[in-house]
Amino acid sequence: MKIGIIGLGYVGLVTSAVLADQGHLVVGVDVDSKRVEGLSCGRNPIYEPGLDELLAKNKDRLQFTTDYAKLSDVDVAFISVSTPTVNGEIYLEYVMSASKSLAKVLRKDSLIVMKSTVLPGTSRKVREITGREVVSNPEFLKEGSAIKDSINPDRVVIGSYTKEAGDVVESIWKFTGAPIVRTTPEEAEMIKYAANSFLAMKVSFINEIANLCERIPNCDVNKIAEGIGLDKRISPHFLKAGLGWGGSCFPKDTLAISTFARSLGTPLRTVDASIQVNNERPKRAVTLLKEIMGQLKGRKVCVLGVAFKADTDDTRESVALKVIDILKEEGAQVVAYDPKAKANVTMVSMEQCIDESEGVIIATEWNHFKGIEDKLRGKYVVDGRRLLDPSKMDLTKFRAIGLGTPSIQGE
């Protein structure tokens, strides 16, 4: 097929590369002319493992442009633009703007596929605006493993008004061999929000258990997570205690569905509680550091990791950056290191970051930070991502998320 992709962020760019690799001709459209120019010259604007290679391999089947007219002969157009939250509510203007532009250029028999995360009822509005058939086909990609998640997804959700339109989308993703879930568009849109909200709740749940474990002798949240995760009804996934969730999905999606639910008079109390727990995580890291280090004013602290998670350069809603802000409010001098991401903070090498600082907070789960116990000798350390071996640390100067405090360990 000839496929259009509107919006060349993480989802759009990965989808473009994966579908081109399946032999489709792909036209990617974005309003950011610099991004389009860079992609046209072979420069990938984001870090995602394997993406550079996949884009280069399929460059002859990929075209990038700012001109919607280039979509006039596509069979299918995927909308994958951003849907941020503004004042707690989903902002759909990018979706609506793309829809109006598509209405002017698409063939009448072209199909529109909603890949962006949108509230139930949005695909119906796009169908009304464009006069074309619309299918909701939500993505379930994780940054850092987005290509793998596209090629080998757990499931493919297809919400359509007609069987024929759904069949077209099913044929596109048939190569994955994944289970196909056929629904209405509203159900497909809801599945995306329900999935992200549930996963976010699991993270917040284990983080609250971690808080409790920190106050109990001989108690490690990692063992608690292992013990409950072996229950098939629970599973071990997303039971990793740490500093909470960030990024481009969980923060905005939980907030958007919570606001939407309240507008319908049906508040999602468990989701609201999960958001509250997550909002407290950055302060937790600083509190643990103060327990062992005392006042932070005028003292230098190293933050290892600024990306919201490992294997990405994305800093959107990064917990690490929130930790840095709180440290600065406490009067600390902050330096940071990240293998890929950049931020508005003094960035130095990992060795310099550690050597020049009295205190260290590990804020992102990069493999680079495993096995560095010797480098941290003599420092006050908070392991916010449970990457270090506590047995190799000076427990009078060490705290870890979900690990009983040294003052009561062994009593």
Task: Report whether 141 belongs to an annotated binding site.
Answer: yes
219 is catalytic: no
Q: Which long-range contacts (CB under 8 A, 24 or more apart) does 292-298 make?
A: 292/380, 292/382, 292/396, 292/397, 292/398, 292/399, 293/358, 293/359, 293/380, 295/330, 295/331, 296/327, 296/330, 296/331, 296/332, 296/359, 297/330, 297/331, 297/332, 298/331, 298/332, 298/333
Task: Report whether 238 belongs to an annotated binding site.
Answer: yes
Task: Report whether 148 belongs to an annotated binding site.
Answer: no
Dist CA 304 CA 362 (whole Å): 5
Task: Report whether 34 belongs to an annotated binding site.
Answer: no
Burial class, 294, CB count within 10 angstroms (exposed 0-12 / middle 13-18 / buried 19+):
exposed
Task: Report whether 239 belongs to an annotated binding site.
Answer: yes
Q: How does strand 156-160 pair with strand 89-90?
A: unpaired
Task: Report whether 35 belongs to an annotated binding site.
Answer: yes
Task: Report whether 117 belongs to an annotated binding site.
Answer: yes
Dist CA 312 CA 31 (whole Å): 23
Query: Quick one: which of 212, 23, 11, 163 has its CA closest to 94?
Result: 11
Task: Report whether 202 belongs to an annotated binding site.
Answer: no
Dist CA 165 CA 216 (whole Å): 56
Residue with the two structure tokens 């032999």: 23
A 10 A CB-CB count for 34 gives 10
Task: Report whether 192 belongs to an annotated binding site.
Answer: yes
Catalytic hit among 213, 219, 249, 353: 249
Task: Report whether 377 belongs to an annotated binding site.
Answer: no
Task: Report whether 252 belongs to an annotated binding site.
Answer: yes
Task: Report whether 83 belongs to an annotated binding site.
Answer: yes
Task: Report whether 242 belongs to an annotated binding site.
Answer: yes
| Whole-angstrom Cα Rg for the chain | 23
Task: Report whether 309 belongs to an annotated binding site.
Answer: yes
Task: Return binding residues for NAD(+).
Answer: 30, 35, 83, 117, 143, 252, 316
Task: Return binding residues.
Answer: 30, 35, 83, 117, 140-143, 192, 238-242, 246, 252, 309, 316
Query: Could you give the residue numbers annotated as active site?
Result: 249
Task: Return binding residues for substrate.
Answer: 140-143, 192, 238-242, 246, 309
